Structure 1
């Protein structure tokens, strides 16, 4: 039996590569004769560059940029052919912003990363969006590219309060005509009830009672930069980084589609008898550009069954099938929370071994 193993990261515990290896280890214990094809995935968030480098090869360039609270942070640019790939979470991820004021976290370093990527001479820069600890509407990114105003653009949404003048004139010339692609895992707008602040602000550390004020600041900022763009799908990705990239003329595409094409997911699914995906928490939000939904969609197109292994499964069987997944299996439910977090790789391997008893021939 041929099994394609294509999980995302298990956030906070395992990278996508480690998750794929753990699933393969457990599966192989029960079914050592099965052919296992390991295909770690990403949706634009943490791990985006590493997964693409593992599949595409290319050259990794080390670049130091300003982190969300000013400290220098190391990042990498993947250059492959005429394209460069960068990961916004490396410059402004939640792991970098956790110890500071969420309302002052900036995306300035992502702008620096874009400039460095464009300077490599490529024709296209693909920006992975996801896992950010910022909520500044991409103002910091624009500031790094030369935008100016009568309030600081590189001090998070707090800095944007009172902004009444904005000049984006120098910004579009700084990238030298390089085509931009925003590879995002969500399609929300910048502001409003379903916008960046309301949807993800709390998990980034913005107090619930501050959300209306922060959203109002971003709405005023968008009024100066381009209100119509703020309503486009993906404008709210990565706390509004999607908005800044759309202002720069970027094309938006689901990050999982970028990775799927790079790793040849469709062909590998066609050659498999079963597709196994997974992530830390498998819930209905997985439908919004997340890896399990993307992998299941490809498996369905190739008429192959898809199952999911996750830290937690938070959807019922009906919702699961709506996502294209035949069955979902939870590490926490079957092995307990203590085991799941104490030994994540071992617990996922044990779960995979149990699942193989049901699915391997």
Structure 2
């Protein structure tokens, strides 16, 4: 058999690379003769640069940038010199994993470091900058990113979403626009949320970053006040994807950027369609396979492409919250949850690699026949 193993990360436990290797190791326990092709993936969140570097080559550049709480962090961007295209992973500069649980406060985390990475990439010769959105700790509508590129007043924009409720003085975005003049900016995301409202950045993603219901309301009001000043027509704030990464999508749109599917860009870069030719099975997965997964996240993208090529698709996940009928409608043949085999969420997370190996071995016993 020939199996393509193409998972996303299992958030909090395994990187996409580690997850793919665990599945391959487990499969070979049962079927040593199988050919397993490892293809770790990302939808724009953590792992975006690593995955694209493996697929495209290019050079990874390291930079010290401002982290989400103001302290410096080390981040990377990928530069493909042939196409003058840079790939920036926003989570490396403002990711939730960079903020200790006790300090998580989306009212004060900043996207400033993302702007610094963009500036470094442009300075290195990039004429297209693809910013992967996902896994952020921020809810500042990209204000910190804009400040890093020259928007002002810089101090008022660089301290998170909370202070945006009453930013003093005149907001000047022109220096930031000049900093990326002639550069194509792309927000790579697979969320279609607008900036504001019940489906916006604060309401949907704020609680994941530490906001309680009262703070969600305050943050939405702060982002509304900011948007009223920089987006008077209201058109940009309503664009699907503007709410990605706590509104970082909105900030990129204000600079003339566009929103594209992160999954589609990655799947095209790794040439998944070509790799599916002649495959007997594709295995994908992520930490939590839920209703959001069916709205264009990575397993859905892999399953859709597999279905087009007539290849069965199995999803392995930490937790599965999607029914069989819903999964089948998305082109998914089977789903398997580590929680079911491990007995609890805690057990699944504490020994996720071994549980994933055991699950893959069990799947192989059925499919290898």
TM score, norm. by length of structure 2: 0.95
Q: 1:116 aligns with which of 112, 120, 129?
A: 120
Contact 2:165 2:221 in 1 (8 A): no
CA distance in 2, matches of 1:30, 1:263: 28
Matches for 1:36-47 after TM superposition, within 5 Å: 36-47=36-47
Which one is further off, 19-28 or 77-86? 77-86
Q: CA deviation at 1:271?
A: 2.6
CA distance in 2, matches of 1:242, 1:353: 40
SS of equivalent residue, structure 2 residue 221: helix
Q: 2:300 aligns with which of 293, 305, 317?
A: 293
After TM superposition, the runs of 4+ consecutive aligned structure 1 residues lying more than 4 A away are none
Count the aligned residue pairs: 361
SS of equivalent residue, structure 1 residue 231: coil
Structure 2: gaps (5+ residues): none
TM score, norm. by length of structure 1: 0.97
Q: 1:349 aligns with which of 331, 339, 357?
A: 357
Q: CA deviation at 1:150?
A: 9.3
CA distance in 1, matches of 2:227, 2:99: 23
Q: In structure 2, do the counterparts of structure 1 residues 274 and 150 end up closer, same or farther at CA, with 3 Å as the change threshold?
A: closer
User: Where does residue 263 of structure 2 map in the other structure?
Assistant: 256
Q: 2:107 aligns with which of 100, 103, 106?
A: 103
CA distance in 1, matches of 2:352, 2:339: 10
SS of equivalent residue, structure 2 residue 107: helix
Matches for 1:85-234 after TM superposition, within 5 Å: 85-98=87-100, 99-149=103-153, 152-163=156-167, 165-226=170-231, 227-234=234-241
Instruction: String of CA shifts for 1:184-224, please: whole Å, max 9, x gaps.
Output: 13110000010010001011011211211210110111111
CA distance in 1, matches of 2:368, 2:313: 13
Q: 1:321 aligns with which of 328, 346, 349?
A: 328
Q: CA deviation at 1:170?
A: 1.2
SS of equivalent residue, structure 1 residue 127: strand
CA distance in 2, matches of 1:68, 1:150: 15
Q: CA deviation at 1:101?
A: 3.2
CA distance in 2, matches of 1:151, 1:111: 14
CA distance in 2, matches of 1:199, 1:309: 25
User: Where does residue 244 of structure 1 map in the other structure?
Assistant: 251
CA distance in 1, matches of 2:154, 2:173: 12
Contact 2:105 2:209 in 1 (8 A): no
SS of equivalent residue, structure 1 residue 192: coil
Structure 1: gaps (5+ residues): none
Instruction: String of CA shifts for 1:221-272, please: whole Å, max 9, x gaps.
Output: 1111112100001000000000011111112111111110111101111231
Q: 2:286 aligns with which of 279, 292, 299?
A: 279
CA distance in 2, matches of 1:318, 1:167: 51
Q: CA deviation at 1:176?
A: 3.8
User: Where does residue 15 of structure 1 map in the other structure?
Assistant: 15
Q: CA deviation at 1:287?
A: 1.9
User: Where does residue 59 of structure 2 map in the other structure?
Assistant: 59
